[in-house]
Structure 1
Amino acid sequence: MCRIFGYFNAAATPHVMRTVAALQRHGGPDATGVAQGAGWGLGSNRLAVVGLDGGRQPYGRGGPVQVVFNGEIYNHEELRRRLEGLGHVIPDRCDGSVLPALYLEYGEEFTEHLDGMYALALVDTRGALPRLLLATDHIGMKPLYHRWDPADRSLYFASELPALLGFGGIGERVRESALDALLTTRTPFGTRTMYEDVEVLEPGTTWVCELGGPPRVRRRAAHVPDGAADPGDGFTTARQVRRTLRHEVGRLLEADVPVAVVTSGGLDSSLVTALAAEHGPQHTFTLAYRGTWPFDERHFAREVADRARTVHHEVEIDPAGFPGLLEDTVWHLGQPNADPIALSTYALFQAIREAGFTVALTGDGADEVFGGYERMRLATERAAAGADWAPAYLDALSAVPAALRGRLYTDAYRAHVAADPALPGAARQDLLHGPGTVLDRITRFELEQRLPAYHLRRVDHLSMASSVEARLPFCQRSVLSLGRPLPDHRRIQGGQVKRTLYAAAAGLLPDRVLSRPKQPFTLPVTAMLRPGTTLWEYARDLLAPDRTAAAGRLDGRAVDALFTAQAERPDDTAALALWTLLVHEVWDGQFRRSLHGRGTAAQAPGGTRPLAVAA
């Protein structure tokens, strides 16, 4: 696991490359490697997980094919044996060391042989002109941001947004519709980011360019069924899911560093915990908040840990420290994400690292694959009754429902966003009118749009902020291949969500965990954002009416009315709206005002050490 960065048909001094590396060294503290040639450069920050004594990047250093790589290749041993049988020499047992030989053997199709999570960059200097290839994994577990300038055909890329900005001259203009994207979908979807000139590679993408030429961008086939016939009776299907998950959890526990398991007390992470415990003693981690708050799941997590006989760690954070924690979290994300759980995610992985662990298994992705969200259930029930399901579903996706957004926006901003909607047009068309049942279309949308943008980038950035590699059993191809084609009634029926996954977990988890009502793993922001708390005063200060109205997008009086409503009658809608606007204001203060401020340095979280950003 690493952080990668580089440029193509462009230039960057060694100082700039060191600056970019420093801005994401938290994700790769064990080594930094850089290779540069005429018009190109590759760099890597390494977090050593497999093959600790080898793995020097760029892989293939000094040869005709050099690669920097972020992720894990779970089938690297099989690939190594195959490639050595074909006459290739693999220098060490690090998983990424197979990549140059794999490319030499299979060319641009080499990614078809990879089983894992990854974002990679490869330079091939065998031809008359150097060629760059970028690639991302099938579901987007490892993001890659880039700035392509079509005028001079130059490219800069990095694993994290703050690092990409470190090249200089990037991210100077925010998309005018970016605030609407945040409020509508909780973070930008598709290839978009908050910045006009920065995009993110979509999952399963191969991007190829010769020096000075235009790029060829290809979305690779997913190789995952998209809605199919019932694979069998419910018992057989559940047993197959359990068997496949057991295999994937066992495989993902393999590392040359200590591995932990995140256990929230919900079905998904609890099932991962139970299956991990079958492979030997485990350490589990859960997070709670000091005091008494709604949605406290620590007792469920403790029950799961006790049954699995793990060494259980309960991480408790103090809400009084949320303002500072929010600033650190937003910095590492590089752009706003409206989910309040981001704070908890950052704090939890920080505690995991401090306890001595470098890898952690999580339950992310199960709701998308197996049909676990309440909004999915409600949409399918409305559709079955002949009602219009889409408006309520889209509001459930949002941080701020459509009607409230209309009241918050100025007339000019409402007119602008009407012409530049937050949802990518093709994705919206497929969601509303594409092939398959309503649940098929929603599942496809959740997996291809929301999961990579909203969940996976957040998990990646906030785990790697503390040098922890998050591994996701539910996002592996074998699990997707079982869950994705399930018919509707195997996912949601009779008011129950994730029917197949609950059946797969039967007998492995405490009855109270299996029978409890589903609740979100979240920060109870409605209860915490109230008068008299540190968070309330912090939000009041940053969201003062004159400040929120300054850019001409928001009506400051309407924002102030949210505070009044939340103070008088706490409400999930008002609380999440205020939280999201607060996150945006923190991001704006860190990345926008500092970018245009005279003599301002970009600062690492905590503000302990300024890092100069190249002009």
Structure 2
Amino acid sequence: MCRIYGHFGGHVPDDRLRAVARLQRHGGPDAQTHHGADTWALGNNRLAIVDLDHGEQPYTLGDSIHVVFNGEIYNHRELRERLRGFGYTFTDHCDGSILPALYHRYGTDFPEHLDGMFAVAVVDLRAEPKLVLATDEAGMKPLYYHQDPSTGTLSFSSELPALLSMPGVDRSVWTEGLDSYLSTKTPFGERTMFAAVRVLPRAATAEFTERSGLRVHRRTPAPADVETGDLNQAGERLREVLSREVGRLRLGDVPVSAITSGGLDSSLVTALLAPGVPDLHSFNIAYRGDWPFDEREYARAVAEYAGTNYHQVESDPEDFPDLLDEVVWHLGQPNADPITISTYVLFRAVHDAGFKVAVTGDAADEMFGGYGRMRQALRDGSDWADRYVESLAAVPRGLRERLYTAEYRDHLRRQGTASERIKHDLLADGRDRLEAITELEVDERLPAYHLRRVDHLSMASSVEVRLPFCQPEVTRLARGLPRDLRIRGDEGKRALYAAAKGRLPDSVLNRSKQPFTLPITSMLTEGNKLLEFARQTLSPDEVAGDGRLDPRAVGELIDHQAAEPTDEKALAVWSLMIHQVWIRRMGAGTGAHRELAEETV
């Protein structure tokens, strides 16, 4: 596991490259290296997991192929043996060292042979020199990039703050980004909150040359071909596949731990992991004090059932305002999920306990139909897409429009909104309703909202997260299940519950689903430090800065939350607060005030 960065075209001095490396050192504290020439460079910050004494990047093949990579390749042993049969030789056992030979053999089709999570950058100096970038099927490992057509250069990195430190990268924000963020809790697709920065989508291979520019190709995963039978047979098949994939994720030369929230997904992963990991340690996060949605009793029950060493991590809500700067900086752009604070604190505790690897149950809801909004969409009538899109929002549409200035509302009417685009995509071509929803959840929401949060906030503490539910065999099985085995009426994740039957305590299997999140409705009340922090952060002078939010409307929202707390108002206040912290922390020159003013002239 690593952090990577680099550029192709133009020239970046060594001192600037070292500065980029320093900004990502938390994700790769074990070694920092870069290599290049006048017009290109590849760099790496290493978190040593496999073959600890070797694995210096960039990996090379002769003088013409150079590779850096972030992630883990679980089938690297099989690939190494195959490549040896073609005459390639290797000097170590690192998973990434097979990449130059794999690229040499298969060209830009090389990602199709990889089983793992990865973001890869290849500089190929044969014929016309080019840069090749690739991401894994699920989008577990992010890769941000900035292209400057005027100079014929492309810069990239694993994290946004590092990319922004590259020469020539513009920090101006995407004007419509505020509405996109409030509509979906973080920008979906390839957009970021920065106008000139994109993120490579999942299952993508990109080629860049100075003459042709950037071309991005989306790889199409193999179609699902699943014989599942009835519910019990589907559960047995899923348990078999998931057990095998969890076993593969034990790969490495460092101890592996588990994150156990107490819900079905992480509990099942913990139970399947424990038999193959002697002395497995499991971690759960809770909050100091008496707050709703405490799940520690379920996590402890799973630990006792599976025989793990249980770690109860407690976070103090009094510390949250002080943590927000760090969390927002590591994320690089706003994410409205309050769980970001908990995630950051949890992985800091995993690191402090001496672990570099943690296995989690993330992504099961998207794959197997676990969200209530999915079930509701299948029950709704012709307006289902409107209600579904609204369910994604941090701030409901009516409240968003009241919070915006008149100029910003007019701008959005002219430019269109993220909600309108998502609704159009859901209804396109008369697709099956569940398949349209699942495609959006897996292709856009999961990488942007969920996986980047987990990746950035775990690597902030030098911890690598592994996700069995994102493994290709698991996702193909999930996508191949008939609707009835995923969702029926009010029941979701039916095949997954069947797979867990007899493998978890009844208290966990039979509990009602609840979101694991920060209880911000209770915390954003009078007498709590978080409310006072919100008032300071969203003061009229701060809010008025870029012309998109009405300071009076924002102040009234905070006052209404303090007087009559509700989940809707609390999340709206939280989301606006996170956005304002992001503007301040990232030094984002919004430019929105100028753009809106020019439109009214």
1:104 aligns with 2:104: yes
Match of 1:246 among 218, 222, 243: 243
CA distance in structure 2 between the partners assigned to 1:360 and 1:535 by the alignment: 30
CA distance in structure 2 between the partners assigned to 1:422 and 1:50 by the alignment: 45
Give the match for residue 231 of structure 2: 234
CA distance in structure 2 between the partners assigned to 1:435 and 1:355 by the alignment: 51
Give the match for residue 327 of structure 1: 325
1:486 aligns with 2:485: no
Contact (CA 8 Å) 1:35, 1:61: kept in 2 or not? no
Give the match for residue 433 of structure 1: 428
1:582-601 matched pairs, under 5 angstroms: 582-592=577-587
Give the match for residue 286 of structure 1: 284
Match of 1:527 among 518, 522, 527: 522
CA distance in structure 2 between the partners assigned to 1:425 and 1:564 by the alignment: 31
Post-superposition Cα deviations, 1:164-198, rounded to whole Å, max 9, x if no partner, equal 01113313211111111110011111110011110
Among all aligned residue pairs of Structure 1 and Structure 2, give the percentage whose two residues are the same amino acid.
54
1:353 aligns with 2:348: no
Structure 1 residue matching 2:515: 3-state secondary structure? coil
Match of 2:396 among 382, 401, 413: 401
Contact (CA 8 Å) 2:146, 2:198: kept in 1 or not? yes
Structure 1: 5+ residue runs without aligned partners? Answer: 597-615
Contact (CA 8 Å) 2:135, 2:201: kept in 1 or not? yes
Give the match for residue 604 of structure 1: none
Contact (CA 8 Å) 1:44, 1:68: kept in 2 or not? yes
1:310 aligns with 2:305: no
Contact (CA 8 Å) 1:139, 1:475: kept in 2 or not? yes
Q: Which amino acid in the other structure matches residue 349 of structure 1? A: F
CA distance in structure 1 between the partners assigned to 2:393 and 2:62 by the alignment: 49
1:208 aligns with 2:203: no
Match of 1:260 among 253, 257, 260: 257
Give the match for residue 491 of structure 2: 496
Give the match for residue 32 of structure 2: 32
Q: Which amino acid in the other structure matches residue 154 of structure 1? A: T
Q: Which amino acid in the other structure matches residue 323 of structure 2? A: L
Contact (CA 8 Å) 1:34, 1:43: kept in 2 or not? yes
Q: Are the structure 2 counterparts of residues 373 and 595 from structure 1 closer, same or farther at C-alpha, using a change threshold of 3 Å? A: closer
Q: Calculate the aligned-residue CA RMSD, in Å.
A: 1.6
Contact (CA 8 Å) 2:228, 2:237: kept in 1 or not? no
CA distance in structure 2 between the partners assigned to 1:399 and 1:408 by the alignment: 13
Give the match for residue 462 of structure 1: 457
Q: Are the structure 2 counterparts of residues 586 and 508 from structure 1 closer, same or farther at C-alpha, using a change threshold of 3 Å? A: same
* 431-440 or 463-472, larger mean C-alpha shift: 431-440
CA distance in structure 1 between the partners assigned to 2:418 and 2:78 by the alignment: 40
Give the match for residue 82 of structure 2: 82
CA distance in structure 1 between the partners assigned to 2:8 and 2:588 by the alignment: 29
Structure 2 residue matching 1:256: 3-state secondary structure? coil
Contact (CA 8 Å) 2:389, 2:419: kept in 1 or not? no
CA distance in structure 2 between the partners assigned to 1:352 and 1:542 by the alignment: 31
CA distance in structure 2 between the partners assigned to 1:204 and 1:594 by the alignment: 32
CA distance in structure 2 between the partners assigned to 1:237 and 1:131 by the alignment: 45
CA distance in structure 2 between the partners assigned to 1:498 and 1:398 by the alignment: 23
Q: Are the structure 2 counterparts of residues 367 and 588 from structure 1 closer, same or farther at C-alpha, using a change threshold of 3 Å? A: same
Q: Which amino acid in the other structure matches residue 580 of structure 1? A: S
The Cα of 1:427 is off from its aligned counterpart by: 5.2
Q: Which amino acid in the other structure matches residue 137 of structure 1? A: D
1:415 aligns with 2:413: no
- TM-score (norm: length of structure 1): 0.93
Q: Are the structure 2 counterparts of residues 580 and 269 from structure 1 closer, same or farther at C-alpha, using a change threshold of 3 Å? A: same
1:552-567 matched pairs, under 5 angstroms: 552-567=547-562
CA distance in structure 2 between the partners assigned to 1:76 and 1:230 by the alignment: 29
1:475 aligns with 2:470: yes
Contact (CA 8 Å) 2:3, 2:44: kept in 1 or not? yes
1:340 aligns with 2:352: no
Post-superposition Cα deviations, 1:65-120, rounded to whole Å, max 9, x if no partner, equal 11000001110000000001111011210000000011111111111111111001
Contact (CA 8 Å) 2:59, 2:97: kept in 1 or not? yes
Post-superposition Cα deviations, 1:214-252, rounded to whole Å, max 9, x if no partner, equal 222211112243xx8873211111100000110011110
Post-superposition Cα deviations, 1:341-365, rounded to whole Å, max 9, x if no partner, equal 0010011011000100000001110
Contact (CA 8 Å) 1:148, 1:155: kept in 2 or not? yes
CA distance in structure 2 between the partners assigned to 1:360 and 1:13 by the alignment: 36
Contact (CA 8 Å) 2:60, 2:67: kept in 1 or not? yes
CA distance in structure 2 between the partners assigned to 1:13 and 1:301 by the alignment: 50
Give the match for residue 503 of structure 2: 508
CA distance in structure 1 between the partners assigned to 2:590 and 2:37 by the alignment: 30
Contact (CA 8 Å) 2:405, 2:548: kept in 1 or not? yes
Contact (CA 8 Å) 2:67, 2:121: kept in 1 or not? yes
Q: Which amino acid in the other structure matches residue 238 of structure 2? A: V
Q: Which amino acid in the other structure matches residue 60 of structure 1? A: T
Contact (CA 8 Å) 1:67, 1:121: kept in 2 or not? yes
CA distance in structure 1 between the partners assigned to 2:283 and 2:156 by the alignment: 34
CA distance in structure 2 between the partners assigned to 1:328 and 1:422 by the alignment: 30
Give the match for residue 546 of structure 1: 541
CA distance in structure 1 between the partners assigned to 2:114 and 2:588 by the alignment: 42
1:392 aligns with 2:397: no
The Cα of 1:576 is off from its aligned counterpart by: 0.3
Contact (CA 8 Å) 2:136, 2:203: kept in 1 or not? yes
Contact (CA 8 Å) 1:76, 1:95: kept in 2 or not? yes
Q: Are the structure 2 counterparts of residues 229 and 34 from structure 1 closer, same or farther at C-alpha, using a change threshold of 3 Å? A: closer
Post-superposition Cα deviations, 1:579-608, rounded to whole Å, max 9, x if no partner, equal 000001111111126999xxxxxxxxxxxx
Post-superposition Cα deviations, 1:119-147, rounded to whole Å, max 9, x if no partner, equal 011011122x3211011111100010000
Give the match for residue 219 of structure 1: 218
Q: Are the structure 2 counterparts of residues 530 and 217 from structure 1 closer, same or farther at C-alpha, using a change threshold of 3 Å? A: same
Give the match for residue 69 of structure 1: 69
Contact (CA 8 Å) 1:119, 1:134: kept in 2 or not? yes
- Report how many aligned residue pairs link the two structures: 590
Post-superposition Cα deviations, 1:324-343, rounded to whole Å, max 9, x if no partner, equal 11111001001100000001
Contact (CA 8 Å) 1:153, 1:213: kept in 2 or not? no
The Cα of 1:432 is off from its aligned counterpart by: 2.1
Structure 2 residue matching 1:35: 3-state secondary structure? strand
CA distance in structure 2 between the partners assigned to 1:212 and 1:16 by the alignment: 25
Contact (CA 8 Å) 2:226, 2:477: kept in 1 or not? no
Give the match for residue 269 of structure 1: 266
Q: Are the structure 2 counterparts of residues 331 and 62 from structure 1 closer, same or farther at C-alpha, using a change threshold of 3 Å? A: farther
Q: Are the structure 2 counterparts of residues 161 and 369 from structure 1 closer, same or farther at C-alpha, using a change threshold of 3 Å? A: same
Post-superposition Cα deviations, 1:189-213, rounded to whole Å, max 9, x if no partner, equal 1110011110000111111123443
1:121-160 matched pairs, under 5 angstroms: 121-127=121-127, 129-160=128-159
Structure 2 residue matching 1:34: 3-state secondary structure? strand
Structure 2 residue matching 1:72: 3-state secondary structure? strand
Q: Which amino acid in the other structure matches residue 263 of structure 1? A: T
CA distance in structure 1 between the partners assigned to 2:111 and 2:165 by the alignment: 29
Post-superposition Cα deviations, 1:376-424, rounded to whole Å, max 9, x if no partner, equal 1111111xxx341122211110100111111111111112123334438
Post-superposition Cα deviations, 1:423-462, rounded to whole Å, max 9, x if no partner, equal 3877543312345421111111100010010001111100
